[in-house]
A and B are shown apart, each in its own frame.
Chain A
Amino acid sequence: MTTALSIRSLKKVYSNGFEALKGINLDVEEGDFFALLGPNGAGKSTTISVICSLALKSAGSIRIFEHDIDNDFSAAKKCIGIVPQEFNFNQFEKVYDIVANQGGYFGLPRALSEQRTEKYLKQLGLWDKRNDTSRSLSGGMKRRLMIARALIHEPKLLILDEPTAGVDIELRRSMWAFLKEINAQGTTIILTTHYLEEAESLCRNIAIIDKGEIVEHTSIKSLLQRLDKETLIFDLKNELTATPVFEKCESTLIDSFTLEVVVSKEHSLNYVFGCLNEQGIQVTSMRNKSNRLEELFLSLVENDKG
């Protein structure tokens, strides 16, 4: 299988001396749905900016579908579509023109560019807004506009930098469905996000970056297998006055109707329910205290701080 993105020893030092990337290595396979996670200021956006040549690298190499971004920049750039974190289109330009012109910058004949503009604006629910200026769009529409613009040259690699930031749940779900669809059609996707639920439900592989270094680079599945305990919240049917005792698990009574239990990997949920049954405690619902990936993410980033 072809490598969609190959980064070797990538360094970025800004003019003020800040070392944003400290020689990272990263590989993303063709067809992957890949998450690049990290806390604020970790180097995610810098990595993306360097890949898209919006920032100049200090050292290292980047290959996009085997095209070196220094020696074969035209072919490399044709493979990439970028959806940046901040809105970066002309606020006074019409929605239609923004997308159609982007096709022109990639050398698409006008007729083809206009045909694809119609296709993607319709797919992303923006066709009715095509003659409006971009500043009149809502935040969610602006995000979708940037996705349509990034897809106009039908790139093999789509990079989205926090595409669902500030987007309501309904729209976020519809964007997930759209991204899953284009990934299924063969487009490799790299996503940065703060919503770890998003990464868990969409992505197959993951890299975690912290302080300019990759601290984890694996599949989501194998990462989740490393989770040695989970914290579960039980909503109770009847009021409790004392914390029930579990021999092999920690438990805390949050309030008289809510119980928190930390279940380690070697114990099954059957054990917990067995204990609850024995003590006559009836459960109405159960959920994870936090996203499973979030717990791992925090432990990896915390470890790195240590």
Chain B
Amino acid sequence: MTLQEQWIALSTIIRKEIVRFMRIWVQTLIPPVITVTLYFVIFGKLIGSRIGEMGGFSYVEFVVPGLIMMSIITNSYGNVVSSFFSVKFQKSIEEVLVSPTPNYIILFGYVFGGVIRGLLVGIIVTAVSLFFTTLTINNLPVTIGIVILTAIVFSLAGFFNALFARNFDDISIIPTFVLTPLTYLGGVFYSIKLLPEFWQGVSQLNPVLYMVNAFRYGILGTSDINVTSAFIGVMVFIVILSSACLYLLSHGTRLRS
């Protein structure tokens, strides 16, 4: 395929993905907004007002960046894992597999779809958060950079999960038993400085902690971790996950008999 043909194939996959999640917007865009709004109301306003300050900010100011990041993570992951597993389950993935579209275009197409949904939900959640607090951006490049890279990491992870999944249980195991604990223990609701030293060390093994704190640094200018190491870590994850996905695609794992 020429570069122009590859671009057409890529834009076709991305367009199809956007049409898919916009067609079912009640399932894809509204639930995360309702969930996060409840978090804002309960943790930000009702409980948060009694907690006081966290890291030098009011509790609602502290949790908003974490909650925005949490919705980006879950939606970019959820979009790719459900979309790609669905085309695998219905065998409509064969439409692409019989075409000359290279594997990396298939991967990029689905990942871009996940990134776009993650960012769209992130923007809506950010807009809702403005009803509960004021947001000023401390460092725009860090904020935008970490958001996009995080959405890419979790879109890739969703693709990896969908490639391996044999049934619908397999696509809910990772979000339930891995993603949710990592997110909740990743510094969304608290600063790890509140933890005993041992658990601070354990927390630093959690990749979500770096993404949430880098984003919080971009918004508030405060972080529990080194922001540069967060960017390096995220880039390493992108390289590892994309290499693994391309390897599996080239070997037809769970796609070609």
- Count of B interface residues, CB-CB < 8 Å: 31
**Hey, what's the 0/1 contact readout for B87-108 against A, CB within 8 Å counting as 1?**
1001110111111111000000
Q: Does B244 contact A (CB under 8 A)?
A: no
B12 located at the interface, meaning its Cβ lies under 8 Å from any Cβ of chain A in the complex: yes
| Interface stretch (choices B3-11, B64-72, B73-81) | B3-11
Q: Which residue of B lies closest to A89 (CB)?
A: B92
Name B257's contact: one of A49, A84, A88 (CB within 8 Å): A49
Residues of A close to B136: CB separation below 8 A: none
On chain A, the residues within 8 Å of B102 by CB distance are: 74
Interface centre among A49, A93, A108, A110 (most CB of B within 10 A): A93
Are A53's CB and B97's CB within 8 A?
A: yes
Interface residues of A in 69-123 (CB under 8 A from B): 73-75, 77-78, 80, 82, 84, 86, 88-93, 97-98, 101-102, 104-110
A141 an interface residue at 8 Å Cβ cutoff?
no
Query: How far apart are B7's CB and chain A's nearest CB, in angstroms?
Result: 9
User: Contacts of A106 on B, CB cut-off 8 Å?
Assistant: 5, 9, 99-100
Known: A55-B257, A90-B87, A90-B90. A102 touches B16 (CB 8 A): no
Interface presence of B134 (CB below 8 A) = no
For B256, list chain A residues within 8 Å (CB): 53-56
Tell me the complex Cα distance, A224–B252, Å: 42
B98 & A108 in contact (Cβ 8 Å cutoff)? no
Chain A residues closer than 8 Å to B130, beta-carbon distance: none
Cα–Cα distance between A88 and B91 once the two chains are bound (Å): 5
Check if B9 sits within 8 Å of A104, measured CB to CB.
Answer: yes
A107 touches B8 (CB 8 A): yes
Asked if A149 is at the interface (CB within 8 A of a chain B CB), the reply is: yes
Q: How far is the CA of A102 from the CA of B86 in the complex (A)?
A: 17
Would B90 and A107 count as touching, CB distance under 8 A?
A: no
CB closest residue in chain B, given A159: B98
* B98 and A101 form a contact (CB under 8 A): no
Q: Is A300 an interface residue (CB 8 A)?
A: no
Given A88-B90, A107-B2, answer yes or no on A54-B11 (Cβ-Cβ < 8 Å).
no
Is A105 a contact of B91 with CB atoms below 8 Å?
A: no
Measured CA separation A82–B94 after assembly (Å): 10
Q: Which residue of A lies closest to B3 (CB)?
A: A107
In the bound complex, CA of A109 to CA of B87 (Å): 23
Q: Which residue of B lies closest to A150 (CB)?
A: B98
B195 at the interface (CB under 8 A from A): no
Number of A-B contacts (CB under 8 A): 84
Q: Would you give the shortest CB distance from B82 to chain A, in whole angstroms?
A: 12
Whole-angstrom distance from the CB of B93 to the nearest CB of chain A? 8
B46 lies within 8 A of chain A by Cβ:
no
Interface membership of B19, Cβ < 8 A: yes
Q: How far is the CA of A104 from the CA of B7 in the complex (A)?
A: 9
Q: Could you tell me which residues of chain A, from 33 to 87, have a CB within 8 Å of some CB in chain B?
A: 49, 52-56, 73-75, 77-78, 80, 82, 84, 86
B84 shortest CB reach to chain A, Å: 12
For A105, give its contact among B23, B101, B252, B257 (CB under 8 Å). Answer: B101
Interface flag for A273 (CB, 8 Å):
no
On chain A, the residues within 8 Å of B202 by CB distance are none
A97 x B257 contact (CB < 8 A): no
Q: Are B95 and A88 in contact (CB under 8 A)?
A: yes
- The reply to whether A97 and B16 form a contact with Cβ atoms under 8 Å apart is yes
Known A-B contacts: A77-B99, A93-B16. Give 5 more (CB < 8 A).
A77-B100, A90-B86, A97-B19, A101-B95, A105-B95
Taking Cβ atoms with an 8 Å cutoff, the residues of A that contact B are: 14, 49, 52-56, 73-75, 77-78, 80, 82, 84, 86, 88-93, 97-98, 101-102, 104-110, 149
Please list the residues of chain B having a beta carbon within 8 angstroms of any beta carbon in chain A: 1-2, 4-6, 8-9, 11-13, 15-16, 19, 23, 86-87, 90-92, 94-102, 252, 256-257
**9 A-B residue pairs with CB within 8 Å:** A14-B257, A54-B257, A77-B99, A86-B91, A90-B87, A107-B5, A107-B8, A107-B9, A110-B8
